[in-house]
Amino acid sequence: MKARVFVTLKPSVFDPQGRAITESLHSMSYAGVSDVRQGKYFELELAADSAAAAKALAAEVADKVLANPVIESYRIEIDE
């Protein structure tokens, strides 16, 4: 089973990379892009019997390793 984990900075955390990308887009005249936040994307191959078990396993490794809860949050999608 496959899991996709999206890790993003919490809204309260300043993202200097996202800011630099936003400013670059503005200098390219993309005024319609008002903000960019950069994150991380992980694809996990999981040995799990059910979507629920896969999600639980993905959440466990996201909590422990993939995301730092001090600055980041995450969202999980499961492919059955």
Partner 1 sequence: MSIKFAVIVFPGSNCDHDAYHAAKHVLGHEAEFIWHKETSLKGADVVILPGGFSYGDYLRTGAIAQFSPVMTAVREFAATGGPLLGICNGFQVLCETRLLPGALLRNKDLKFHCEHVRVRVEQTDTPFTARASVGQVLNLPIAHGEGNYFADEATLTALESSRRIIFRYCDAEGRVTDSANPNGSLRNIAGICSEGRNVVGLMPHPERACESPLGSEDGLVLFDSVVSSLAARGALTA
16 binds partner 1 (CB under 8 A): yes
Minimum Å gap between C-beta 55 and partner 1 is: 21
12 binds partner 1 (CB under 8 A): yes
Binding to partner 1 (CB under 8 A) within 32-61 occurs at: none
Minimum Å gap between C-beta 14 and partner 1 is: 7
CB count within 10 Å of CB 41 equals 9
In the chain, where do the E strands start and end? Answer: 2-9, 39-45, 72-79
13 binds partner 1 (CB under 8 A): yes
In this structure, what are the phi and psi dihedrals at residue 19, rounded to the nearest 5 degrees?
-65, -40
